[in-house]
Amino acid sequence: MTSPTPTLQAELNVALLQHTAKASTAEFFQFLEHEVAKCAQAGSQLIVLQELHNGPYFCQTEDLSQFDRAEPIPGPSTELLGKLANKHQVVIVGSLFEKRAPGLYHNCAVVLEKDGSLAGTYRKMHIPDDPGFYEKFYFTPGDSDGTYKGFEPISTSVGKLGVLVCWDQWYPEAARLMTLAGADLLIYPTAIGWDLNDDESEQKRQLDAWVTIQRSHAIANNLPVLSCNRSGFEQSPSDNDHNDNTSNRAESGIQFWGNSFVAGQQGELLAQAETNGEQTLLATINLTKTEQTRRIWPYLRDRRIDAYDALTKRYID
């Protein structure tokens, strides 16, 4: 277990950096330096980046050469993120393609403390795989010790961060385990978008579902939720190199749907970004509202832990 956060401040100013893919890591860090400076000047204390922010979303095809993007953690990116965090005295949540060993890679969130040190990492536990999002090819799922590890909050000067990544956001189990392990807030760096072959009503249902499921984690756990998503269209590197027979295939690319948001402890939207374009979303959350909310909506009090054993089953048959 991580040690308790010494002083939980009531109000916390947060920023989410929603942006389109940059052509290179260098170009991204140039953009980031500018945005972090602006956020810090505006009073932000915690800055959340989107999933795999260093470059394009490279999982649209299965391509061996993409593994060259991976880097060790700590490594070059955590060093740059740490310098920025230290320079502007902010906590930064980033998302990197981790090379853990030759041939062993993770989708890894990193948290940099105000002093520039690496406060902790989280390796994405639930790995998706569907046309245009071939993540099971690239990412080994995060380790588990069979209890909750994997799902362990990261202690920082601004609170215990329940950092999860993208596909994790569809799993109430992940949010609950972070909560039980003491998270003060839930954070989702994300890269999700539309297959433009889907019609408008289907696209609307998908976006609504994405906002709703994450707001529900705020509600079920009485915790603020910060979700930072990619925006912009990213062309698929190739339409032909994956033998894919589904009609749902992303033929030409993904339209990342933005809509990064911050929700309070009752799931109420405190701030939400646009669908398109780059936007740095600022919001203030109140971490002490968790205890107030839990006193009158005490879900943790009434959980039927005597009847939940089968949650560790694949299916009851």
Question: Token match 């669908």: residue?
Answer: 275
Kindly give, in sequence order, each residue whose CB lies less than 8 Å from that of residue 111, ignoring residues fewer than 6 positions away. Answer: 91, 92, 93, 94, 118, 119, 120, 121, 122, 154, 156, 161, 163
Among 59, 127, 250, 281, binds a copy of itself (CB under 8 A): 127
The helix (H) or strand (E) run that includes residue 155 is strand 154-156
Least distance to a copy of itself, CB of residue 142, Å: 8
The residue behind tokens 């393609």 is: 97
Q: Which CB sits closer to a copy of itself, 89 or 248?
A: 248
Q: In the bound complex, what is the minimum distance in angstroms from residue 305's beta carbon to a copy of itself?
A: 5
Q: CB of 162 within 8 A of CB of 175?
A: yes
> Could you say which of 177, 271, 285, 287 contacts a copy of itself (CB under 8 A)?
177
Residue 221, φ and ψ in degrees, nearest 5 = -115, 0
Taking the complex as a whole, the smallest distance from the CB of residue 86 to a copy of itself amounts, in Å, to: 31
User: Is 166 an annotated catalytic residue?
Assistant: yes
Report strand pairing: 225-229 vs 185-190.
parallel
Nearer to a copy of itself, 82 or 150 (CB): 150
Considering the complex, state which of residue 44 and residue 265 has its C-beta at the smaller distance from a copy of itself: 265
Spatial neighbors of 97 by CB under 8 A, at least 6 apart, are 52, 54, 58, 69, 70, 71, 105, 106, 107, 108, 138
Name which of 99 and 217 has its Cβ closer to a copy of itself: 217
Q: Find tokens 């385990």 and name the residue.
A: 177
CB of 272 to a copy of itself, least distance (A): 14
Residue 278 known to be catalytic: no
Residue of 6, 102, 103, 146 that binds a copy of itself (CB under 8 A):
146
Token couple for 114: 């105000």
Give the 3-state secondary structure of residue 150. coil
In the complex, the smallest distance separating the C-beta of residue 233 from a copy of itself, rounded to whole angstroms, is: 20
Contact with a copy of itself (CB under 8 A) among 181, 196, 270, 282:
181
Element (H, E) at 210: helix 200-221
Q: To the nearest 10°, the Cα dihedral for 244, 236, 142, 146?
A: -30
Please say which residue, 67 or 171, places its beta carbon nearer to a copy of itself: 171
Query: Which of 157, 168, 217, 189 is CA-nearest to residue 16?
Result: 189
Local structure of 204: helix, strand or coil: helix
Q: Which of 31, 67, 170, 233 binds a copy of itself (CB under 8 A)?
A: 170
Place of tokens 């062993």: 104
59 catalytic, yes or no? Answer: no
Shortest distance, position 283 Cβ to a copy of itself, whole Å: 16
Q: Does 37 bind a copy of itself (CB under 8 A)?
A: no
Q: Which of residues 295-314 bind a copy of itself (CB under 8 A)?
A: 296-300, 302-314
- CA–centroid distance for 145 within its chain: 22
- Tell me: does residue 123 bind a copy of itself (CB under 8 A): no
Q: What residues from 7 to 36 belong to the interface with a copy of itself (CB under 8 A)?
A: none
Classify strands 11-18 and 279-286 as parallel, antiparallel or unpaired.
antiparallel
Residues that bind a copy of itself (CB under 8 A): 1, 125-128, 130, 141, 144-151, 167, 170-174, 176-177, 180-182, 205-206, 208-209, 212-213, 215-216, 219-220, 248, 266-268, 296-300, 302-317
Catalytic residues: 51, 124, 166
